[in-house]
């Protein structure tokens, strides 16, 4: 089953938030999901210890560079989706996880510094493609902590530069939302948040579902292309 890896050399890019949001939305649609928390800070594990984690969503935190490949492979045999949240540095664990990915999502904020770090992650993916014998690893940049109301010129310029360089980007951005922070504070999912205590929950849910829909569409398109290639071969 598909393995989705969140990777960025820069800490604070929004990897863990995006990973949990995606995982809970997939679980909310009835899919079995395993999240592998490979970040030494264990943000996903802390979220999972709070009340409200879906029964069909498992979190594994006991993982290191010696076990990451086996853990990913085992999770893929029992879950419809495997999501890996990696540490915010380049490491052997990060490289191994990327080598097993069907999709690498690179969260980045809309600044030139973050764009440079995103480019480093993309180069690492390309190196892992060579290590994997030329297997194409689907990769896309996800802009995070964006404004729902405006699209700054800096962000637009970075998106244009990525697209001109042949680097795919998600049409959906993860907006700066109180609800995304709230699930880490209170646990559970966006759908279970109390809208009287957390602002704009419905907007956050719509944002999350748009992101999930785009991820699933990308995976389906990639799988279809692989199937057609196999038939031609």
Q: What digits encode the pLDDT tens for the residues 94-129?
A: 999 999 999 999 999 888 888 888 988 999 999 999
How many residues comprise the chain?
A: 233
Q: What pLDDT is attached to residue 91?
A: 84
Residue 143 has pLDDT above 70, yes or no: yes
pLDDT-based confidence at residue 8 (cuts at 50, 70, 90) = confident
Q: What is the pLDDT of residue 224?
A: 62
Average pLDDT, whole number, for the chain? 90
Helices 178-186 and 15-28, axial angle in degrees (round to 10)? 80
What does the alpha-carbon distance between residue 206 and residue 225 come to, in Å, rounded to a whole number?
28
Contact 93, 68 (CB under 8 A): yes
| d(C-alpha 110, C-alpha 21), whole Å | 20
Cα R_g (the chain), whole angstroms: 17
Q: Is the pLDDT of residue 93 over 60?
A: yes
Res. 137: pLDDT tops 90: yes
> What's the topology of domain 3-232?
Rossmann fold (3.40.50)
Does the structure show a pLDDT above 90 at 226?
A: no
Asked if the model's pLDDT at residue 49 lies above 80, the reply is yes
Q: Which of 139, 143, 141, 144 is nearest to 103 (CA)?
A: 139
pTM of the model: 0.92
**CA–CA distance, 22 with 186 (Å, rounded to integer):** 17
User: Per residue in 171-193, pLDDT tens?
Assistant: 999 999 999 999 999 999 999 99
How confident is the model over 32-55, as a mean pLDDT? 96
The whole-number average pLDDT for the span 156-160 is 90
Higher-confidence position of 49 and 114: 49
pLDDT of residue 205: 97
- The pLDDT assigned to 231 comes to 35
- Return d(Cα 11, Cα 8) in angstroms, integer: 7
* Predicted confidence (pLDDT) at residue 1 exceeds the cutoff of 90: no
């Amino acid at each position: 089953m598909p393995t989705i890896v969140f990777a960025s050399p820069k800490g604070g890019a929004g990897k863990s938030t995006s990973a949990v949001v995606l995982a809970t939305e997939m679980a909310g649609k009835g899919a079995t999901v395993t999240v592998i928390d490979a970040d030494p800070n264990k943000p996903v594990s802390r979220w999972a210890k709070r009340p409200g984690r879906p029964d069909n969503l498992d979190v594994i935190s006991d993982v290191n560079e010696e076990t990451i490949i086996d853990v990913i492979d085992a999770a893929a045999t029992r879950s419809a989706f495997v999501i890996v949240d990696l540490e915010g540095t380049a490491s052997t664990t990060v490289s191994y996880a990327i080598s097993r990915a069907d999709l690498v999502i690179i969260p980045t904020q809309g600044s030139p510094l973050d764009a440079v770090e995103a480019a480093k992650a993309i180069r690492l993916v390309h190196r892992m493609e060579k290590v994997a014998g030329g297997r194409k690893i689907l990769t896309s940049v996800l802009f995070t902590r964006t404004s729902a109301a405006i699209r700054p010129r800096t962000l637009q310029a970075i998106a244009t530069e990525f697209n001109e360089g042949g680097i795919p980007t998600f049409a959906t951005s993860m907006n700066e939302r109180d609800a995304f922070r709230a699930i880490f504070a209170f646990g559970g999912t966006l759908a279970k948040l109390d809208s009287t205590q957390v602002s704009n929950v419905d907007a956050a849910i719509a944002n999350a579902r748009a992101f999930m829909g785009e991820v699933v569409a990308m995976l389906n398109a990639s799988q279809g292309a692989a199937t057609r290639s196999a038939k031609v071969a």
